[in-house]
């Protein structure tokens, strides 16, 4: 019987986590042994001990701070005792048949370094899995959309060239299965990222080391999108700002200095112009919540840019790797 370590990073997503853990507790497999590790990124709301007592057969780890998704995943991996890691979002639910099929397919295909599976949301819609690595041309929305339109047939044939698997460039961090050997080879998750794009970065390093990234078509995991990142206007603005910050971190980690310089400049001016316009619109249209979110994003982003100048680094100030 093979052992699988399931690693879940949580931050105040207790309601979703409850459903996820309940689904895992119902698994009574004779094909694999489960080790469930829950890393709480210092939610500090009194619920950690309650969940720890309620789900005593799982391993709960309290992080010393909210240092990001990548940091939480790495902490879980350090405490795992198996040769295989399944990173799951707390807003997922798993059934035994799909989990067994998913894990066995990974074992049967050693040429695949990192494997995901199909994901379905509460409306019964499947998540899009035809993800491409950002390039100089496709890093931004409009050029990317044009590129995908022009090369739609080629992209589709490349990703869908197998009956059993899809082969996108990268997969979402909500569901990632990887062996310990491959995880160690790429040095785990990149903790320069606080939240967002760390999954793209992980898949890029797997690809650069000669590994394949794939999605199994015959297994499905439920994934409820949103969760704790959409609690209120302030939280939504924070998470959307981190999306922008993570783009800068990805550029710094995956492009040459010259190419990265032009991408940083393009991103900075594009964000400032867009958010400034929306901020000005938010003054007379104060009753439109979406515009208020953009006003807060603009403020957060300017604060971040000041930090970049001060510290000579694009790393998120929330990252554990950030040095003041």
pLDDT tens for 52-69 read 999 999 999 999 999 999
Helix, coil or strand: residue 121: coil
Q: What whole-number distance in Å separates Cα of residue 45 and Cα of residue 55?
A: 18
pLDDT over 80 (residue 185)? yes
Q: pLDDT digit string (tens) for 81-96?
A: 999 999 999 999 999 9
Kindly tell me if the per-residue pLDDT of 112 is higher than 90: yes
Q: Which residues contact 107 (CB under 8 A, 6 or more apart)?
A: 2
pTM value is: 0.93
Measured CA to CA in angstroms, residue 204 lies from 123, 134, 168, 245 at distances of: 31, 10, 11, 18
Residue 76 has pLDDT above 50, yes or no: yes
pLDDT band, very low/low/confident/very high, at 324 (cuts 50, 70, 90): low
Average pLDDT over residues 144-167: 92
> What is the pLDDT at residue 319?
94
By CB neighbour count within 10 A (0-12 exposed, 13-18 middle, 19+ buried), where does 258 fall?
exposed
In this prediction, residue 228 carries a pLDDT of 47
Exposure string for 90-102, b = 16+ CB within 10 A, e = fewer: bbbbbbeebbbbb
Taking the CA atoms of the chain, what radius of gyration do you get in angstroms? 20
Helix (H, G, I), strand (E, B) or coil at 119: strand
Give per-residue pLDDT as tens, 213-228. 999 999 999 998 755 4
From CA 246, how far away is CA 99, in angstroms rounded? 31
The H-or-E segment that residue 29 falls in is none
220-264 confidence digits (pLDDT tens): 999 987 554 455 788 889 999 999 999 999 999 999 999 999 999
Give the model's pLDDT for residue 226: 59
Distance from chain centroid for Cα 258? 27
Q: What does the pLDDT look like over 250-309, one tens digit per residue? A: 999 999 999 999 999 999 999 999 999 988 987 877 667 777 899 999 999 999 999 999
What are the beta bridge partners of residue 39?
Answer: 9, 61
């Amino acid at each position: 019987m093979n052992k699988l370590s399931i690693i879940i990073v949580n931050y105040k997503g207790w309601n979703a986590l409850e459903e996820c853990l309940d689904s895992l507790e119902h698994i009574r497999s004779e094909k694999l042994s489960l080790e469930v590790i829950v890393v709480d990124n210092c939610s500090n709301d009194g619920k950690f001990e309650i969940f720890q007592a309620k789900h005593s057969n799982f391993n709960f780890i309290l992080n010393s701070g909210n240092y990001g998704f990548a940091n939480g995943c790495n902490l879980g991996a350090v405490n795992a005792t198996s040769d295989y890691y399944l990173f799951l979002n707390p807003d997922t639910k798993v059934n035994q048949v799909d989990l067994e099929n998913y894990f066995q397919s990974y074992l049967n295909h050693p040429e695949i370094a990192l494997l995901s599976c199909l994901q379905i949301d509460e409306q019964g819609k499947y998540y899009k899995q035809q993800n491409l690595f950002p390039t100089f041309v496709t890093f931004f929305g409009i050029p990317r959309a044009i590129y995908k339109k022009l090369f739609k047939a080629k992209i589709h044939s490349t990703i869908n060239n197998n009956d059993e698997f899809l082969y996108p460039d990268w997969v979402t961090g909500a569901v990632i299965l990887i062996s310990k050997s491959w995880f160690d080879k790429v040095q785990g998750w990149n903790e320069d990222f606080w939240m967002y794009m760390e999954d793209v970065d992980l898949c890029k390093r797997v690809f650069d080391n000669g590994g394949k990234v794939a999605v199994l078509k015959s297994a499905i995991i439920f994934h409820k999108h949103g969760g704790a990142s959409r609690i209120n206007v302030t939280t939504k603005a924070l998470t959307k700002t981190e999306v922008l910050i993570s783009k800068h971190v990805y550029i710094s980690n995956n492009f040459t200095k010259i190419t990265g310089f032009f991408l940083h400049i393009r991103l900075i001016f594009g964000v400032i112009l867009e958010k400034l316009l929306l901020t000005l619109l938010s003054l007379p249209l104060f009753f439109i919540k979406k515009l208020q979110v953009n006003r807060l994003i603009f403020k957060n982003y300017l604060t971040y840019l000041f930090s970049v100048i001060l510290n000579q680094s694009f790393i998120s100030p929330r990252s554990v790797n950030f040095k003041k």
